[in-house]
Every structure is written in C-alpha cells, then in structure tokens.
Amino acid sequence: MKKFKLFSAIALVTLLGIVLYYFLAIPAPHVSLTPDTGLIGVRRGFSLKLDAQRGVLKKLTVTAVQADKKVSVLVKEYPFGSHQASESFDLAKSGLQEGVFTLQVTASTAPPRFGADKSTNLTGSFTLENKPPEVAIVSIAHNIVQGGVGLVVYTVSKEVEKSGVVFNERFFPGYRQKGNNYACLFPLPFDLDPGKFVPTLLAVDKAGNERLVVISYHLIAKSFSTDKINLNDTFLAKIAAEFKDKFPEAKSPLEIFLKANRDERQQDRKQLNEYGQKSSAAPLWSGTFLRMPNSAPLGGFAQARTYLYQGQEVDRQTHLGFDLASLAHATVPAANRGKVLFAGSFGIYGTCILLDHGLGLQTIYGHLSQLSVKAGDMVEKGQIIGNTGVTGMAGGDHLHYEVLVSGQSVNPIEWWDAHWLKNNITGKLDTAAGIAVKEVAPKARSIRVVKSKLSTRSHHKR
C-alpha cells in the first residue's frame, strides 16, 4: 500500500511537472515598437524588434484600428529556427483618416522541442496627421562663394522635429531663434561641382511629414591654389615619433607619415563632423572674427597639396584652414566669443582647441604648444587661449586656424571681413531676432563665375 501511494505521488509530481513545463517552459516573446505613441504621418516608418527569448518565432501580425475600421498592416510567418527579427512598415497603404487610431501588435513563439506556444500583445495609441508644415523664406540676397557660407532665415508654421538646408545628400541644421524664426548657416563646399549645388530648405514635423522649399541664391565659383611640399627625413622622423603608437604596423617613417596624412586626417574629419552637431542654438559671437596679430599667412584655405619624397609623388591632400606664423610660441587669441568644446590632443592637429560660436559655427586652433583653457570654458573675443607650437603634423611653429559650419570646413577670410559679415550674416540674424517677416518668392538661381587664386608661401605647413 505504501509503495502504491509512493508511486502515485511520484506519478502525480511527474505529470504536474510535464504540465508546467508544457505551459511555462519558455517565456513569451519580447516585442518593442518604435515609435510607441504620439503624432504620426502615413509615411513615417515604424520599427519592430522581436526576441523569442528561449523559443523560436512563429508569427507576427500588426493591425491598425480606427473607430470601427480594422486594417491589416503587416502579417508575417517565420521559418522554424528564427529567434530574433527586425521589421519595418508604414501606413501609406492603410487608408486611415487623420485622427486617433491604435496599433495592435501580436507576436507568437513556439518552444524549440515541446510545449505550448506563447504570445505577446502590444497596443500603441497614435494620432494620424498628414499635413506638412508651411515654410516661408524670410531672408533675401543669398550670395555664396565657393568654399564660403550663406545664411537663410525662415519661418515654419508648427513645431518641427528638424529643419535646415539639404543638398548633395548633406544636411545642415537650422536653429530656432525668436518666435517661429529659424536661422541656418550652410556652406558651398570647396570641392562640390557648382552644378550640383541646389540648396533646399527641409522641414520635418513631429509626425514625420516633410516640406521642401528651394532657396534662391547667387553663386560665385572660385578656384584655389596648389602647392608642392618636399618631405625630408628630419620632418618624417618628427612625424614618426609623434604618431608611431597609433600605427604600429607601419614599417618606416614615410609609412607612418602617409598613415597619419590619410587615415588620421579622415578620422579627424569624422570627429569634427560629430562636434559640428553639438552647437549652441543662439549665436555666441559678436562682430568680425579676429586674426592672430602680427602673423604671416603660410598656407591658404582649400590649397591642393602634392607631397614629394626623394623627387617622387607620395600623396595628395587638401589643406582646409589658414596657417599663420608669428614668433615661436606666440600667444593665440580666441577669434570670437564662444564655448570650448575640446582642448587637448586631436590627431593631425596636435594640441588643439575647438570653439563653438553657435548656429553650427566653430573654429579650430591647431599645433599649439600650450593650452590656457579647458573644455566647457566660455571665452571672450581676444582672450588668450594658448600658444603656437609644432605639435601634430606641423613642420614649423605656427597656428593652424580653421573655420567650420556644422563640420564642413569653410574659408576663414569671409569671417575676417566686416562688410561681408554685415551683408550676409549679421543683418539677416537681426531679421531672425524679430523684425517683421514676409515670404519671399523663390527666384531662378544665377551663377557668376569668378576665378581667383590665393598666393601663399610653402614652408612651415602641415
């Protein structure tokens, strides 16, 4: 009798274990939906991430429900063995009307061997809005020189997710000023074919609806200087000592130089583009930008440089700033008021300072020997921030001075010119600050080609 009871108890526990395993062996799938609530346009994409956890994915359904209407948005069955998946969809073919609706997501999984299927139900509440924002261009006379900068002031009719100027697959953000006024600095890159330059205002609202407006402008083409730089063993040894730890695979000073001149230069550009997105929405600068006093130009903006070693060409790169030389370890003033975004060692620039002046406008001070500021400091125009030196790719004591707009290097000369600054930048910012605005009808663009060339000396360059 006792054995029978023991056997029955064991059998009951075993059966209970099988039942529990069948129903509880695997957890329900994890499902995440982005966005999961809020305003949405029919072309704004949704993304779903599915994780079967210890099971395998079986089926996914997405249904939109609006009043009494149900619309199947996505149905997918997964081949056995699928554990994770990412899906994307939109509502372009849903036929939904503007207004409130819900998305119902159901994802199911099966156990890999034995047990019950599990499912997860997810519901998100949304408001469908399909009308894009209205955009009105306020500023006029958008004159822009190759390698230089333009500024457009505009208004938008409602809150936007982002706005700014787009061309050639590049985006330059605009910054809200007063009321519904926005200001956007945008460059004409020195190396862009003028025929491919069609600056267009883009505004994307919170629902993802887009509005594009072509900007009328007057383009002035420009050519830039070229130079040949002879590399000697003394200079290469200096570069090798500074960069050998970054390129341990390089076998000679020349190889280290080429790695730094190519790979490190490219990496620096990526980082500067990232810093370019971390700018103050308000202009921090005032008036013209200062040039380092008592300095001679040694190398100009967008100068195409050919590097020679023992009479043979070994590399070609473009110099994207101004090289300014004075006395050794000369003091370096901040060109204008701004915030220190970076102060330290920065690739080919050596010991370097990066200042943010707002609206995406930033300045670089490279090859320094000493720093007088740190990241986070606010500096005033003319404040001493460091001393010139020979760090980085410098071949002699000088300052590498560079101006950028949202990460794109532009010609510093414009920012030293009070007349240009008033006509093209500060006058328009006054409009953005609150002068009565009205929409200006776009005009056909015109191009006036002006060829000019900078004449520069070729020593002490990087």
Please name the CATH architecture into which domain 28-128 falls: Sandwich (2.60)
pLDDT of residue 438: 41
Domain ranges of the chain: 28-128, 226-417
Which parts of the chain have pLDDT scores under 70?
1-25, 114, 434-462
pLDDT of residue 298: 85
What are the tens digits of pLDDT across the range 339-350? 999 999 999 999
Q: Superfamily assignment of 226-417 in CATH? A: Glucose Permease (Domain IIA) (2.70.70.10)
What are the tens digits of pLDDT across the range 397-443? 999 999 999 999 999 999 999 999 999 999 899 877 765 434 333 33
pLDDT of residue 431: 75
Q: Are 106 and 121 a contacting pair, CB within 8 Å?
A: yes
Domains 28-128 and 226-417 share a fold: no
What are the tens digits of pLDDT across the range 30-85? 999 999 999 999 989 999 999 998 899 999 999 999 998 999 999 999 998 899 99
